[in-house]
Structure 1
Amino acid sequence: KGEVAAELLRRFEAEPVPKLQKKIGEVVAKLAEYVCDKDDPRGSLAPGQGCGWPGLLEMVFRMADPSSSPSKEACESSLRLLTALVPTLKDDIVAAKQQLGQILQLGLLHADLKIKTAGVLLICEIVGETDKKAWAPLAQTAGVVVQVLTQLAAANEEEMLQECVQSLIDVASLEPDFFKAQLQLNMEPAKFMATVARTREGIDGGLRNLALEWLVTFVEKRQKWLTKNCKDYHGLVLQACMDLMLEVEDGQEELKAWAERMDDEEGEEDEDELFHAGEEAIDRVAEAVSMETLGQALFQLIGHFCAQAPWQAKHAGLAAIKQTVEYVEEKAHVDEMTKMLLQHVDHPHPRVRYTALHAIGQLANDQAPTFQESWHQTVMPCLLKKMDDECDRVAAMAMSAFVSFGEELDNSLMAGYAGGFMQKLVAKLQATKHRGVREESITSIGVIAGVIEKDFSQYYDGIMPMLKQFVMHATGEKENRLRGKSFECMSLLGIAVGKEKFLPDAGEAIQAMMRTQLQDDDIQREYIKEASERICHCLKKDFAPFLPNLLQGIFRSLKLEEIAAADPQNQAPSGHQNDDEDDDDAYIQVSTGDGKLVRVRTTKFEEMMQSVQLLHTFVTEMEGAYFDWVAPTAEVLVPLLSSTDEISMLCDEVRGIALQTWSLLIKSARQGGEERNQGTGLAQELLKTGLMHTFTVLEKNQEPEMLSETASGITECIKNVGPGILGPQEVQQLVEKAFLLMEQ
């Protein structure tokens, strides 16, 4: 081991090719992690002596010092090696104050930009890895660091500049105080970063984004200090955000592609990346800084951009409203923003109209119900008109804004508008082939039904057949959301008009949902789950005829062993499983409670969670009417009550909802048994079984949160079984167990 280490140092020192020298340096740094580990001295090359690798730092210090390094290339390689050694040997490196000081001083003042860059990276690493007392003397280098950044920018050395800015972001996140003195002196490096972020020509977009990230990170970490000591900083960062938000494609082909893209299709985030970066950044700034501090600069900038002639400037101003309106508290400011948005809903450029409507929808979400109460007389007619926009994507956004606005509108007000909107939405459904307009039309109808409830009956007979048609004929790959929204709307209409009117159609809806072939990540899955829950909520005990077919599929999705056996990955020979799986599709090893271990995909747990939640809803809504299905449901849930895994919370989540459902099964068994004159035997048996399995888990898992949730579930089980069921001996056992848990 010692010979290998010595040979590595010799080769590093002698290697004339910079690229190879740096690679050897990476190996040296990696070996140092092992041999210089002070928490585990077993790997040390010199037990009880210094850093554990005699001669390492001595050689690196000598070669990193420009005055003693054999070449400028070797100096840069050594500075980078020293930087890589900081996490392992920070105490030894910082302790060598004189040597370190000379290395940094000469390195930062060196004529070679690569050496300057390596010096900046070394400073950043030391500041990030050590405590404030250790790095405090380095704060005086901040001014020189800014000079290096400026020189790199002037020389168009973007790769090195990007490396430096990324390291400075890490410092701003970990030790933002490093920059305080320099910011107070001359607002650097904030001014430099803002200049880079705002420069449209000759600078890579990724670098501009990084510069903005530094500005925003510092705001998030030290917003109170900035408010007190650097009052111009907020205006600087807001201007940088807004300038990035000007970066939207302007060609006819790009506009055509934008207009034809659906809101739910991938690719939007890949277009106009700098615009989206600016959008996200201005949201983060508004969240970090109070509107009292930020408001004046923000509102001035929005007004300035919206007043400019180019559509991109107006688009940026409206997008800024959309991103920040959540944090606006004064009604006068909300009203001003609203007026500005309404002024642009008829702008000639579709993206400006779209963003104005998008922002109105955001306003409706963030400022409800005050916004609706104050502005419905202006906004509702505007949205009705914009549903006929010549650009389908804009028309769909008008409907989306209506959904947000309408959900929080008083039902008496919605009743007054319902006729006009229903006429428009039905016409749209009948005339358009645009998937986005269809989806939002259906959602809008569902909102009207949900708000005016019984008064929706007059529209029911005209709408329900159309929804059935969509469910039957919208079978294309891209029409899953349309079918899902149709199911959603059917169930919302059922809730609105009530059981008597809805019952004949409910059966058809459930049959259609059951016939739907679902993929693992199918968007319809959540829609179908929620629609099933709403239908059950509407029908209550009359939901019983639909249970036999529904429960078959639900029960299948909850059997861990069958799920594991059906997975092709688990059928592969041992050692031949495909390791190239998505993180979301990772596997976990699960104990089923009876000692069996099965390997289950994490995505299957999400499906299981939905299935147990469905059962929870069915039992809650049907109560005693669920009696005939209590025993088979309990049989499926028993393994989940005691399932555990070692590495995730997934089992805990499923087990928690399974225990809640179990307590409801006990209640259903008691009520159903009494209604049928069959007594409470089944309820008693369920209580005993449930307690036995949950106590088994409690003995294995001592997590306070899990203990609390399980104790709560046990309490509900005991409450729901009713009085006079537990005997003295069972009560005593329970009390003893409770005291034992309290002690733990």
Structure 2
Amino acid sequence: MEQTVAHLTTLLHTLASTDNEQRAAAEEVLSKEYLEKKPDLALSGLIHILRNNPDVPLRSFAAVLFRRLALQPVSVPAADGTKSHTSALFMIQETTRRGCLAELLGALAAEPVVTVRKKLCDCISEVAKALLNKNVAWPELTPAVLQCVRAAEPEYRESAFRILGSVPKLLMPNDVLDMVTVGPIFESGLAESEVLAVRITALNAAVFFLIEAGPDTKAASFSGLMVQMLNVLPALLGAGNEEGLTEAFTALIELAANQPKLFRPVLPQILSFALSIIGNAQLESTTRHSCLELLLTIVDEAPAMVRKLTPDFPSKVIPICLNMMAQLEDDESWHTASSIEEQEDENDEDYVIGEQAMDRIARKLGAVVTTPVAFSIIPQMLAAQEWQQRHAALMAISAIGEGCHKVLNKDLGKVVNMVTPFTQDPHPRVRHAACNCIGQMATDFAPSLQKKFHKHVIPALMACMDDVANPRVQAHGAAALVNFCEEVERTDLAPYLEALFGKLVTLASSPKIYLQEQAITTMATVADAAEDAFVQYYPAVMPALLQILSTPNSKELRLLRGKAMECATLIAMAVKKPVFQNHAQLFLEALARIQNEVTDPDDPQVSYLMHAWARLCTVLAADFVPYLPIVMPPLLTAAQIKPEVALLDVDDSDEDYSPEDGWQQAMIDGQRLCIRTSLLDEKCSAIEMVMCYARHLGTGFKPYVPQVMEILIPNLLFYYHDGVRHAAMRAIPPVLAAAQDEPTAVLPLWSVAFDKIAKLLPQELDVEMAYNVVAGLTEVIQLLGEQALNDQQAATLMRVLNVVLKEYYDRVKAREEQRQDEDFDPDQEEAIEDEAALENMVITEVAKLIQTLLKVYGTHALPLVDQLMDSVVVFLNESDEDLILLAVSVFDDLAEYTGPALATYMGVFGERIVQLLASPLPSVRQSVAYGVGIAATKGGPAVHPLCLAAVPRLVEMVRAPKARDDDNVVATENAVAALARILRSDVLPVDQRDEALAFFVMSMPVVFDEEEAVVTTTFLLDLVESAHPAVGARLEHTVDALLEVLYQGTLDDDQQLQQRALADVKTLLAGMPQDKQTAIWNALPADKRSVLKERGFF
């Protein structure tokens, strides 16, 4: 052992060397000679150094290295050729492990140096977590930690809480929570009178203990502990320990993000204390910002609780945030910068933090409480002499627009009139802020802003584009126009095109590269919005863009060239192929040349190239196919980008993994996981482009289908980037469609994809991905027909759908429980409804998938649908709208696609279907009425009793006092259509038919549901042409009804039926006396007579 210890000591010294080669060689020896061949000696030797070496840094390093080596993942080959994953801690002999664990606790009881103790505690914590994960006992650990809690030395007490913070499960043996035992442990640390560091560490430990206790933790049970935890804050403030105070706030932020309800009993006190911090300019900004972040996290996670318990929150916090937003200096470099990127706002500046806070408060607390407070202050700020106040006010309007949309949209004109004059403010920073505000409002209030206020907004922004002395203002004015034009109607934009185009051409010739870039970007958006109205400007623009693309590939011009590609291709899409054709070849050659020039993976042209090629594909269609060999290789390379991942120890430097370089970090089991997400965005774009080519080129894309599917399928599980997964799923149907004429090639590819999909869907937590998967299944089954699923796959699909339905049902019930929360209020209901609407996308697509199965397989699908019937029965008898609708949609589709087989399910649906015709929910009544009508038409005699029982309810629906109100009219029209179908199907006894026919005639017209309008109008015309007494006795009403159908243009897509209706109206009128004809005509409203004449009917 002595020799091993001596060698390891030498290696430790070498590992600490600044010589990279020596350090790498030492790492190689440690890994190959010790970890792989002699793990027992390696770990025992490091423990010996930790316990016995007099060198303090070496002992500290030994603790760090022991943790790394003991827990480093190791692949162990198995006899069957597979590999299992373990770590050295579980590969060494039991006696060695027990010896190491005992020595770690010995060090905990004896190590005198604080810096070493911290590394030791980290080591013990990570080892403990690894043992817990493997269910390996370490019974001596908890008593040793509790012994430290009671120790006389404060550094020992701090060590105990450091470990408890990392491994809170130590206080919950067998997952049993006993506050009688645990409470005094924390109380001793939180009330520490000797050393504040102990109180901070105890607070951190208490936070992670409460998080570990789980979401069912009741606030009342821990109110005493919460008070003790919060009492640490004033002590730190009083001692002037701002670093400790910031650390305490950071811990509480973590608690608020996970268990916001625990703050309920102490929320007013927290607000009071926080106000004394965030409004105190004498304190460090990091202290104030972390305190504000605690408040905002509570708002984010429990807005209803904040609204209820601290109704003065907006009036207290918003003024402070607005004041923070005004803490801005006029830096000369802002005006003179040659690149806007050089001057991007620092995220930790007061004015940035204040702006972000205003956004979060508005979105979470809502418009009703935010708007009055904000707009009681903003006008004063706009009238202030200090430019910073005016700037802050405009940025505040920009920040709260989304969250306060419902209130501000009602007074949008006032807000526009408040903001637009500041595009002429004396100070350029204020003019810049006005542009920013208008641009954000153009997004938040689209399309109302564009439609109602283009006369105010476009001239104001164009005036900013003339501000030659301030290119930053010019650029921001043009940038705001991008947002505005994304939602503007071409007719509203048309009057400004000439002037706007002239200004953009001028800006594009600016010596400032960033201004040229912005001008080209704005021109692209204007062209996209103007569509073919941009044709007249095309001759002047396209050659200039081609000229930019011919410039040398210098680094400073890369972004400009990229934006030129974007602009040119958007213009090509706007003016269409015939106009673009003359430049198409030159442009394609330019892109091909640039693609060959690009060698730097960080070159911005890479992304622009991908999108430019795809837009050209949409313009040129089949003519683009010859360019696929140029386009596809780099695209497929990008689609296969592997994530750059680094796993860092908490002590490792992360300077090489900064957000500026595209890295994001997350803490996992005490280590930092770093992922370079910027490259993954490129991967996502590449897959989206592949989908574009497949959709637009069809069979022209067929040669690439096998290779592309091999790329797409693994990316369904690419959890590093949700966008990649979504794009991969959306791409599968169009890629398969490109080769659908070769089933023998497509079906094996689809089979592999299906297996992957079937595994991921039941456990999919991402709602958007779940929607994409179900929609993709539907699309492929529609595409491949009966070949899409074999028997085994069909059975698998039903099992998966049952899981999806059950989980959806559980979430519906969870939302119902949320509504019973003590802090529930109308704003929270809005958030719940938003969540439900997102999930409803999935369940609606599930209904469409079931419909597709029935449509494709007919009665052969019934054994599959039967497997879902347990869920359908439950849903049918629920009160939740979406649950009922899914069940009713199954009834409708069974009637539509299985006809007489519907009779088998009368025991499931019959009585309940009739009851639901009286549902208070219009959507349910509409769906049920439609299904009843289809059942009458296709279900056969066995379902006639159901249809007969439904007639009185259908009549009640039509007769209801508000039957034709906007919310009810479609349901009512479906009831009328159901009566028409029932009457046509001879369901009714003879003695009831005449009365029902008369009621049907008087219930016409149907004009809003175009599908049902065809059904009902056809039936009415049949009655007219057969001279049925039900019509003869009601001629004037029949004429009025048919005239209304013609007036509304309901039958415009069915010209034959429309002409038939017109002919029958004229026949009916011709059979009346002239005075009666004139009276009917004159009784029509003037606008209706005018429209009927304009359309050539009369």
- Above 0.5 in TM-score? yes
3-state SS of paired residue (1:702): helix
How many angstroms apart in 2 are the aligned matches of 1:417 and 1:271? Answer: 37
Residue 604 of structure 2 aligns with an amino acid whose one-letter code is I
3-state SS of paired residue (2:406): coil
How far residue 391 of structure 1 moved from its aligned partner, in angstroms, is 0.9
Residue of 195, 200, 207 corresponding to 1:124: 207
How far residue 143 of structure 1 moved from its aligned partner, in angstroms, is 4.2
How many angstroms apart in 2 are the aligned matches of 1:441 and 1:560? Answer: 32
How far residue 369 of structure 1 moved from its aligned partner, in angstroms, is 1.9
Match of 1:61 in 2: 146
Alpha carbons 1:387, 1:395 under 8 Å: kept: yes
Alpha carbons 1:83, 1:121 under 8 Å: kept: yes
CA offsets 1:44-72 (integer angstroms, 9 cap, x no match): 25xxxxxx22xx4445434424xxx3233
Match of 2:249 in 1: 165
Match of 2:137 in 1: 44
Evaluate the alpha carbon distance shift between residue 568 and residue 456 of structure 1 in structure 2; reply closer, same or farther with a 3 A threshold. closer
How many angstroms apart in 2 are the aligned matches of 1:568 and 1:145? Answer: 40
How many angstroms apart in 2 are the aligned matches of 1:151 and 1:239? Answer: 27
After TM superposition, the structure 1 = structure 2 runs for residues 573-612 of structure 1, keeping only pairs within 5 Å, are: 610=685
Tell me whether 1:556 sits opposite 2:627 in the alignment: no
After TM superposition, the structure 1 = structure 2 runs for residues 691-730 of structure 1, keeping only pairs within 5 Å, are: 691-699=747-755, 702-703=758-759, 704=761, 708=774, 711-718=777-784
Moved more, 516-525 or 387-396: 516-525
After TM superposition, the structure 1 = structure 2 runs for residues 135-214 of structure 1, keeping only pairs within 5 Å, are: 136-183=220-267, 187-201=268-282, 203-214=283-294
Give the TM-score normalised by the residue count of structure 1: 0.79
CA offsets 1:543-586 (integer angstroms, 9 cap, x no match): x2x532x2122332366799899x999xxxxxxxxxx9999999
How far residue 387 of structure 1 moved from its aligned partner, in angstroms, is 0.4
Tell me whether 1:397 sits opposite 2:482 in the alignment: no
Moved more, 700-709 or 514-523: 700-709
Match of 2:313 in 1: 233
CA offsets 1:98-142 (integer angstroms, 9 cap, x no match): 674276157516254233333433432332222565874542244
How far residue 364 of structure 1 moved from its aligned partner, in angstroms, is 0.9
How many angstroms apart in 2 are the aligned matches of 1:99 and 1:657? Answer: 51
3-state SS of paired residue (2:401): helix
After TM superposition, the structure 1 = structure 2 runs for residues 606-625 of structure 1, keeping only pairs within 5 Å, are: 610=685, 613-614=688-689, 616-618=691-693, 620-621=695-696
Evaluate the alpha carbon distance shift between residue 62 and residue 738 of structure 1 in structure 2; reply closer, same or farther with a 3 A threshold. closer
Residue 293 of structure 2 aligns with an amino acid whose one-letter code is E
Alpha carbons 1:533, 1:618 under 8 Å: kept: yes
How many angstroms apart in 2 are the aligned matches of 1:539 and 1:351? Answer: 44
Match of 1:726 in 2: none
Match of 2:453 in 1: 375
How many residue pairs end up in the alignment?
660
Evaluate the alpha carbon distance shift between residue 453 and residue 72 of structure 1 in structure 2; reply closer, same or farther with a 3 A threshold. closer
Moved more, 689-698 or 508-517: 689-698
How many angstroms apart in 2 are the aligned matches of 1:733 and 1:113? Answer: 67
How far residue 236 of structure 1 moved from its aligned partner, in angstroms, is 2.6
Give the TM-score normalised by the residue count of structure 2: 0.55
How far residue 213 of structure 1 moved from its aligned partner, in angstroms, is 0.8
Match of 1:76 in 2: 158
State the structure with more CA Rg: 2
Tell me whether 1:359 sits opposite 2:440 in the alignment: no
Match of 1:406 in 2: 485
Alpha carbons 1:146, 1:188 under 8 Å: kept: no
Tell me whether 1:661 sits opposite 2:734 in the alignment: yes
How far residue 373 of structure 1 moved from its aligned partner, in angstroms, is 2.6
How far residue 637 of structure 1 moved from its aligned partner, in angstroms, is 3.9
Residue of 78, 87, 103 corresponding to 2:169: 87
After TM superposition, the structure 1 = structure 2 runs for residues 251-650 of structure 1, keeping only pairs within 5 Å, are: 254-257=331-334, 259-260=336-337, 262-263=339-340, 265=341, 268-270=344-346, 273-327=349-403, 328-330=405-407, 331-389=409-467, 390-430=469-509, 432-473=510-551, 475-516=553-594, 517-518=597-598, 519-541=600-622, 544=623, 546-548=624-626, 550-557=627-634, 610=685, 613-614=688-689, 616-618=691-693, 620-621=695-696, 629=700, 632-634=703-705, 636-637=707-708, 639-640=710-711, 648=719
3-state SS of paired residue (1:189): helix
How many angstroms apart in 2 are the aligned matches of 1:76 and 1:619? Answer: 62
Alpha carbons 1:386, 1:398 under 8 Å: kept: yes
How far residue 290 of structure 1 moved from its aligned partner, in angstroms, is 1.6
How many angstroms apart in 1 are the aligned matches of 2:744 and 2:365? Answer: 55
Residue 440 of structure 1 aligns with an amino acid whose one-letter code is Q
How many angstroms apart in 1 are the aligned matches of 2:752 and 2:161? Answer: 57
How many angstroms apart in 2 are the aligned matches of 1:689 and 1:437? Answer: 51
How far residue 380 of structure 1 moved from its aligned partner, in angstroms, is 1.8
Tell me whether 1:114 sits opposite 2:192 in the alignment: no
How many angstroms apart in 1 are the aligned matches of 2:413 and 2:639? Answer: 58
How many angstroms apart in 2 are the aligned matches of 1:23 and 1:501? Answer: 70
3-state SS of paired residue (1:329): helix
Evaluate the alpha carbon distance shift between residue 134 and residue 81 of structure 1 in structure 2; reply closer, same or farther with a 3 A threshold. farther
Moved more, 136-145 or 690-699: 136-145
Evaluate the alpha carbon distance shift between residue 165 and residue 506 of structure 1 in structure 2; reply closer, same or farther with a 3 A threshold. same
Match of 1:593 in 2: none
How far residue 360 of structure 1 moved from its aligned partner, in angstroms, is 0.3
3-state SS of paired residue (2:601): coil
Match of 1:736 in 2: 791
Which structure 1 residue ranges, 5 or more long, are not aligned?
Answer: 46-51, 570-579, 587-600, 668-682, 720-730
CA offsets 1:62-101 (integer angstroms, 9 cap, x no match): 4424xxx323343333343444442333348963736742
Moved more, 219-228 or 655-664: 655-664
Moved more, 151-160 or 732-741: 732-741
Evaluate the alpha carbon distance shift between residue 57 and residue 391 of structure 1 in structure 2; reply closer, same or farther with a 3 A threshold. same
Alpha carbons 2:218, 2:262 under 8 Å: kept: no
Residue of 688, 693, 700 corresponding to 2:744: 688
How far residue 151 of structure 1 moved from its aligned partner, in angstroms, is 2.5
